[in-house]
Structures are given as structure tokens and as C-alpha cells.
Amino acid sequence: MFVQGVLPRSLLFTCLLLFQTTVFGQVQEALPVNGAVVPPVESAVVPAIELRSPRASLTTFLNAMQEKNTELAVTCLDLGNLTQDVVRTSGPGLAYKLHVAIQKLTRITIDQTALLSEVPDENNDLQPFSLGALSGSQPEAAALVIRFDPADASWRFSNETCEALEDIYSQFENAPDAADQETLDESHLEQPFPIRLRNWFPLTLRHKTLLLPNYQWICLLALIFIGLIADVLTRGILTALSTRWLDSDVSKEERAMRANVWRPLGRLVNATTWYWGTKLIGLPPATLSIMLVVLKVFTIFAAAWTGFAVIDVATRYLARQAMRTGTKFDDLLVPLVSKSLKILVVCIAVLTAAQTFDIPIMGLVGGLGLGGAALAFAAKDAVANFFGSVTVLFDRPFEVGDWIVTNVAEGTVETVGFRSTRIRTFYNSLVTLPNSHLTTAAVDNMGRRRYRRIKTTLGVQYDTSSDQLEAFCEGVRELIRRHPDTRKDYFHVYFNDFGASSLNIMLYCFLHCPDWGTELSGRHKLLADIVRLADKLNVKFAFPTRTLHMASPDDQNLAPEFDQPLQAGKEVAVEITKKQ
């Protein structure tokens, strides 16, 4: 049924959503406000003033570095397809290394207008310009290239230049300045932390081994160790605090459970430590991009896991508080709130991941407009079940622990979720009932009864005398009056019928009890007292019997003969009633 119904509708909705998501981004820009379809007009790209030519870009970069405007200096670099996070992390270090390379390999400064004039201010043929073409430049300066970027019509230091900066900086960082043949005084430059960290290590550890300098491998190992220590400390501290503040005399099992609860938070601290620590090491942009992607996924997963753990802790605490109250409404509300918060955590994690990896959310949201009808059609049952749970929550036809009877199942309510309600039957099976069924079905809540009825027949033997009948019936009434769980204002105990093999006494009374177990206990006590009463009064309970009379010639009919039967009956009845 599921495969034939829900699955095709879900596939249809997915296809429509993907189609609309693809088309939405292409059509949206072509639709003006009034709805008329106008073909998109290609507008000329206007470059930024500070990047309009090789000279403007070089001047902008040197001025930005002199004024310690690192953000502006990074805009002069072509960092390829790196994400904004990687650009913000690696950009300042690359700009610093480029500035040092320019000072080491060329004689150009911001004050030397003669050398700046050698850099073309207009380059109509859009040919790349190399700083190696400047007067007095060293041959290695040929790797410092300013290239035209057609995407925004701007000139920037090429991506190849940025990739070669690490090797150039390592080779010439201790070389004298090309302008005055003295060691470059870098005190006026604002060194990023990765550069300062690099300078703390000796030269022997700055050489590359397996794609990275040796000091970066040492930093990565230290960072892994620090993250693991932070994980262990976080879990240990939180476990100790929770044991001290919540319950000081808990069992070993409870302490182990709480230690497992804080494990996700320890993983989150671990992931956060690795994430921010990786940014401080100064890894190459390509390596940093890969590591940040892995660490972002790990951090988002750890954060979602932590959210689930915190919700579980709060749910257990609220469940214990709910057990202390007289109403069961909070017992029903706590699981629903817990599931709602977990769904919210999942949504936040998905949106955070989409934003982190630059997934186009707006196209997906726009696709929901066209796919709304398909969504409603495919999720019809889910929506019906959700509103069924809302109905149960606010209308409260039953609560957790109630004994209910429907046309589908009978048993005790265990849980109420967004989609279904679980009922534990009396033969210990678990029935899952969709909540949409509860909005239309008749639900007989046996747990809401104020009284539990006892209706039975007490059969005594036919040889029981009338005085014994009267004494027995009155004795049963007194037992009901003295029973702790019976209703005292309404009950009936009377000789009610002549059975086939017994004199039938009707017992009709009610027990005041909250659940079936208490009802059974009260019923047992009352019936056991009735048996003791019958023993004391020598009243015998009847059971189906058959008496066989063997006729003989000596048997005589001892039945009296009446001259006036009607009058005789009246006189006997009057005599009986007078005795009463």
C-alpha cells in the first residue's frame, strides 16, 4: 500500500521540485515587477577604480599594506574558487608574503613614482604584466604576475602567483631588501598570527615534508592532542557538576548514563578546537579548504548530536517532574515537545550545512511555490496525522496510561507522537494507530471512569431458608458499606430470580479506583468477604445439579387440598407480610 500510494507521489513531488528549482533561477531575473517577460540585457562590467589597471592594482595593494588595511589588500589577489571562509583565513597571510616578496625581489615602493610609471596604467591588449619587467628586479620577480580578470574587468595578482608565494617567501624571507641591500625591517607590517607562529620555529622545521612544512605537522599533532584533552576535560567536568548539582547519591548505572549524555558536548568542544586551531596554523589554501570542509561537517554533526543530548537530558528531567504532578497532560506534552525540538535541531543543522557549503537555498525555496500542490498531495497523510496529534494534545480525549477502546484496538496508551499513537494491548502486543484515525473514530476512554461497576449474580441452594436469604443479602450490603473502595450512595443487593438450580441474588455496586489493578484488588476483597459471610451464615452456593426421584408404591401425595385456593393464598400472604 505504501509503495503503491506514498512512494509514487513522493517521487512526483521530488521531480517537480527539482525542475522548478532549476528553472526558477533562470526565469526569475527575466521577470520584471509587472510580470512582462523581457529578455535579459547584458550590461557592461565596470571595474573597481582601484583595480582598473596593473598600476592601479599594484598601487592599491602597496597602499593597503602600508595602511594595514589587509581586507583591501586581499581584494588585489586572485584566489580562484576558494570559499569566503578560506579567503578570510588565508588571505592576510598571502598578502603579507606577497608584500615581502615585492620588497625582496623588486626595487619598487609606494614612493618611487619612476618605477611605478613603468607599470602600465592602460593595457588595452589585456596582456598579463610581470613585475620582473621592472628595472632592477631579480629574475624570480617574473613569478609575480598581474593578470586581467574578465569576470569583473579587474586586474589582480594571478592565482599562479598566489600558489607560488609560499615557496618564494621561504626562499627569500631572510634575503636583503632589493631597494637598499639591507635586511627588510618588517616591524611596520602587521604580521598575521600564522606568520608569527612560523617565526617561532627554527629554520630547520620550516622545510617541507609530505606537502607541508615540518612545523605545521607538529602543530597538527599538537592540535589533535589538545582537542582530545578538551573533549575529556569537558565530559569529566560536566559529569562531576551534574552529579553534584542534580543527585549526589546516584547509582553507577546513572553515572554511566550521564557520562554518555555529555559525550556529544565533548565531541563538539573537540571539533570546535580543531576547527579554529586549523585556521591558526597557516596551512596552504588548497589544504585548508579540504580540512575545513571535513571539520565543518564534523562540527555540524557534533552540534546536532549535542542538541539531541541536551534535549534528552531536559526531557528526562521534565518527565520526572511530570510524574510528581496529579495530571497526565504533561506526560503527554513532554514527548511531543522533545520531538519538536529534535526536528528543529535537524532543520537548523541542514540550513547551517547548506549555508556553509554555499548550496542555493533560495532556488529550493522558490521551487516550493510550484511544488506546493505536489507537496500537499504527497504529504496528505502526514499532515492529517499531524493535525490528529494536535487534536489529541488540545482536545485531550485520553492521556498516557489511559485504557481506551477503539474500533481498531483496545489497551493502554503508551506514547503519543506526531504521526501515531502506540497502544499496549492486554496480550502485550503494541498497536500503532495513526493519529488521523483518532479525529474521526469513536474512542471509549475506560481510564476516565470515576467508578468501576460490579454486576454479578450470587446463586445459593434451593434449601436456603428465607431468613438465611434476608440475613445474607443484608450482610452483603453491610460489606459494601464498609469496603474502602466501594461507592456508598448507590448499590443494590436483592434476591432477584429463581434459577434452574439456584436462588439468584443480584449484586450491583461500584468501585472507586484509578486503574484496572486497583479494581481487581477491590473486587477480590469484596468477593472474598462475601464467601466468608456465606460460611458464617451456613449459606451454600449452588451449582448446576439434577435430582433423580425413584418412584415407589408407598409414595403418597402429601400436597394439601384447599376448598378455596385463592382465598387460602391470600391468607398465607397476609400472614407472611405481617411477620415482616
473 SS3 class? helix
Alpha carbon distance 376, 107 (integer Å): 69
Alpha carbon distance 403, 278 (integer Å): 58
Longest CA–CA span in the chain (Å) reads 159
Alpha carbon distance 151, 78 (integer Å): 11
Where are the strands (E) in 472-576, listed by range? Answer: 492-498, 503-511
Q: Tell me, what's the pLDDT at 283?
A: 85
If one counts every other C-beta atom within 10 angstroms of the C-beta of residue 414, the result is 13
469 SS3 class? helix
SS3 helix, strand, coil % of the chain, rounded to 5? 55, 10, 30
CA distances (Å), 87 to each of 65, 159, 282, in order?
A: 17, 13, 12
Q: Are 237 and 217 in contact (CB under 8 A)?
A: no
Mean pLDDT for each consecutive 10-residue tract of the chain (580 residues)?
38 41 40 40 48 86 86 87 83 88 80 72 78 84 88 87 84 63 50 85 81 86 91 84 62 62 82 87 84 85 84 78 68 75 85 74 58 58 64 70 82 79 85 77 78 92 90 93 91 92 93 84 93 92 78 63 74 72
Q: Are 83 and 156 in contact (CB under 8 A)?
A: no
Q: Tell me, what's the pLDDT at 23?
A: 39
Q: Are 436 and 385 in contact (CB under 8 A)?
A: yes
Rounded (10°) angle between helices 516-537 and 466-482: 150
Q: Are 105 and 144 in contact (CB under 8 A)?
A: yes
Strand order in the sheet with 503-511: 452-460, 503-511, 492-498
Alpha carbon distance 230, 233 (integer Å): 5
Rounded (10°) angle between helices 361-378 and 329-356: 140
CA distances (Å), 338 to each of 263, 342, 345, in order?
A: 19, 6, 11
First to last CA, the chain: 72
If one counts every other C-beta atom within 10 angstroms of the C-beta of residue 229, the result is 12
Paired with 458 in beta bridges are 505
Look up residue 291 and give its three cell numbers: 580540512
Q: Is the pTM of this model over 0.85?
A: no
**Length, in residues, of the chain:** 580
Alpha carbon distance 442, 407 (integer Å): 7
Q: Are 435 and 427 in contact (CB under 8 A)?
A: no
Count Cα neighbours of 278 within 13 Å in the Cβ-side half-sphere: 21
Where are the strands (E) in 165-280, listed by range? Answer: 208-209, 212-213
Quick one: CA dihedral 296, 300, 305, 311, positive or negative?
Answer: positive
CA distances (Å), 208 to each of 101, 144, 212, 214, 223, in order?
A: 19, 22, 5, 6, 19
Look up residue 248 and give its three cell numbers: 549526589
Look up residue 23 and give its three cell numbers: 528553472
Q: Tell me, what's the pLDDT at 229?
A: 92
Task: Give the DSSP per-residue string, 199-223.
Answer: HTS-GGGSSEETTEEHHHHHHHHHH
Alpha carbon distance 64, 50 (integer Å): 11
67 SS3 class? coil
Look up residue 260 and give its three cell numbers: 554518555
Quick one: CA dihedral 236, 238, 242, 245, positive or negative?
Answer: positive
Paired with 431 in beta bridges are 423
Instruction: Give residue for cell 625591517.
Output: 185
Task: Give the DSSP per-residue string, 20-49.
Answer: HHHHHHHHHTT--TT-------PPPPPPPG
In tens, the pLDDT along 341-400 reads: 888 888 888 888 877 776 766 665 555 555 555 555 555 566 666 666 666 666 667 777
Q: What are phi and psi of 415, to 5 degrees?
A: -140, 155
Alpha carbon distance 29, 24 (integer Å): 9
Question: How far is C-alpha 177 from the chain's CA centre?
Answer: 59
